[in-house]
Chains A and B, each alone.
Chain A
Amino acid sequence: MGAHDISIFGLIIGYLLLLIPVAIAWWLKIKIIKSTLIASLRMAVQLVLIGLFLEYLFKLNNPLVNISWLLVMIVVASFAMIRTSELKLKNFLLPAFASLSISTLLLLFIFNLVILDLDDIFDAKYLIAIGGMLLGNSLKADIIGATTFYKSIRRNEVRYHYLLGNGATAFEALLPHIREAFKNALDPFIASMATYGIVSLPGMMTGQILGGSSPLLAIKYQITIVAAIFVVTALSVILTILFSLRPSFDAAGMLNKDIFREKKSK
Chain B
Amino acid sequence: MPHLLDIQNVHLKYNQKEILTDFNLSVDQGDKILISGISGSGKTSIFKLILGFIKADSGSILFKGNKADAQSFQRIRQLTAYIPQDLDFADGNVQAFLDQMMQIKANRSISKPDPLPLFREFMLEPDILNKNIEELSGGEKQRLALITGLLLQKEIYLLDEPGSALDHEARLRVIAHFTNFDKTLIVVAHDPDWLSISFAKHYELKNGAGWEHTI
Chain A contact residues, CB within 8 Å of chain B: 156, 158-159, 161-169, 172, 250-254
Residues of chain A with a CB closer than 8 A to B104's CB = 163, 166-168, 172
A165 touches B90 (CB 8 A): no
Residues of B bordering A, CB below 8 Å: 47-48, 51-54, 69-70, 73-74, 77-78, 80-82, 84, 86, 88-91, 101, 104-107, 145, 148-149, 152, 154, 158
Closest 7 CB pairs of A and B: A165-B82, A251-B70, A167-B106, A162-B89, A252-B52, A158-B86, A252-B70
Task: Give chain B residues whose Cβ lies under 8 Å from the Cβ of A250.
Answer: 70
Most buried by B among A167, A168, A251, A253: A167
- Some 6 contacts from A to B, beta carbons below 8 A apart, are A159-B88, A161-B82, A162-B82, A164-B51, A164-B53, A172-B104
Q: How far is the CA of A253 from the CA of B52 in the complex (A)?
A: 9
- Closest beta carbon of chain A to B54's beta carbon, Å: 8
Report how far A167 CA is from B86 CA in the complex, Å.
18
The answer to whether B82 and A169 have CB atoms under 8 Å apart is no
Measured CA separation A166–B101 after assembly (Å): 8
Tell me the minimal C-beta distance from B108 to chain A in angstroms: 10
Q: Are B89 and A164 in touch, CB under 8 angstroms?
A: no
Contact partners of B91 in chain A: CB under 8 A: 159
A166–B88 touching, CB < 8 Å: no
Chain A contacts of B89 at CB under 8 A?
A: 158-159, 162
Contact A169 B70, beta carbon cutoff 8 Å: no
Contact for B51 among A156, A165, A169, A251, CB less than 8 A:
A165
Measured between alpha carbons, how far is A167 from B109 in the docked complex, in Å? 12
Q: What is the predominant secondary structure among interface residues of chain A facing chain B?
A: loop
CA distance A264 to B152 in the complex (A): 45
Q: Are A166 and B70 in touch, CB under 8 angstroms?
A: no
A158-B152 contact in complex given A165-B77, A166-B101, A250-B70, C-beta closer than 8 Å:
no
Give the distance to chain A from B56, nearest Cβ to Cβ, in Å. Answer: 13
- Asked, given contacts A251-B69, A254-B52, whether A167 binds B158 with beta carbons under 8 Å apart, the answer is no
Q: What's the minimum C-beta distance from A68 to chain B, rounded to whole angstroms? A: 41
A166 in contact with B81 (CB, 8 Å): yes
Tell whether, in the assembled complex, residue A161 and residue B53 are in contact, meaning their CB atoms are under 8 Å apart: yes
Q: How far is the CB of B196 from chain A (nearest CB, A)?
A: 26
Contacts of A164 in B (CB 8 A): 51, 53, 77, 82
Instruction: Pick the contact of A158: B47, B54, B84, B107 (CB < 8 A).
Output: B84
What's the Cα separation between A162 and B144 when bound, in Å?
13
How distant is the Cα of A163 from the Cα of B148 in the complex, in angstroms? 11
Which of B84, B145, B148 lies in contact with A161, CB distance below 8 A?
B84
- Give Cα A248–Cα B81 distance, bound, in whole angstroms: 26
Find chain A residues with CB under 8 A from B80 CB: 165-167
Contact B74 A169 (CB under 8 A): yes
Which among A166, A172, A254 has the highest number of chain B CB atoms within 10 Å? A166
Cα–Cα, bound, A164→B145 (Å): 14
Bound-complex Cα distance A163 to B145 (A) = 11
**Whose C-beta in chain B lies nearest to the C-beta of A250?**
B70
Residue of A nearest to B80 (CB): A165
Report A33 CB to chain B, min CB distance, Å.
42
User: In the bound complex, how far is the Cα of B105 from the Cα of A164, in angstroms?
Assistant: 12
